[in-house]
Each structure stands twice: as structure tokens, then as C-alpha cells.
Amino acid sequence: MLAKRERGKIERRLVTSLTAACENNKSHIPGFEWVTHQVDYTRFPMSLMVIWVFDTDAHLSEALKSDVRQRLHDETAAALIEAGVMVNDVSAHIDFDSEQACRRQHGGDWQRRLTSVKAIH
């Protein structure tokens, strides 16, 4: 198990690298709004999930049918490497969501949505 200090270091590196990935993509991908991550450090790195969030279900659907899916896969892989996090299959650590779905299913409460079974794989 990781010590609290080590978890903090990893968390800071993840936030920094994912924030850079987010900023790199905001103006280039229609409807993309933000990225976040969830992790249970007792099961790290297997439990790590990076969630790319779009404004609407339609923008999300369009992105997943285009080369945007691969772009965000590559961005996630690069961000994890930059953060010093090694995983076997990056695809298993990526999820996509939308503000619209959160409003519909969780009343816009992202904290509740992200701590639901959906986000903690």
C-alpha cells in the first residue's frame, strides 16, 4: 500500500498532467469541457479512471465516432507517463461522460456521479 505522502505526490502529478491535457484539447474538440480522474489508492493503479467530460450527449457521441477517441486515448497515455503512472492497457482506464447525462441521471451532482459505481471500476 502506498504511504500517504506518496499518494499525495502521485495525485499532484496526475492533476498537473491531466490539467495540461485538458487545456490542450478544450479549444480543439467540439463540446469537450473538462477532464477528471477517480482512484482508490488501495488498488492503485488498477482503480485509476480518467474521465473526459463533454457538454452534451450529442457532442460526446460525435467525438467517440471520430478520431477524437484516439486523440484522447493518446493524451491520456501521455499524461499518465508524464505523471509517472504505468498501466498495462490505457483504454481500461479511460471513460467518457457528459454534463447532460449528469444532469439527467444525478441532477448535476458530479461528486455523487463520480463516486457512483460507474466511475469506480
pLDDT at 115 (0 to 100): 86
Band of residue 117 on the pLDDT scale cut at 50, 70, 90: low
Mean pLDDT on 57-86: 97
Q: What is the mean pLDDT of residues 77-93?
A: 97
Q: How far apart are CA 120 and CA 11, in angstroms?
A: 16
| Distance between CA atoms of residues 15 and 24, nearest Å | 14
* pLDDT tens-digit readout, 27-55: 999 999 999 999 999 999 999 999 999 99
User: What pTM does this model have?
Assistant: 0.92
What domains are there in the chain, each with its CATH number? 4-114 (3.30.300)
Helix (H) or strand (E) holding 8: helix 4-26
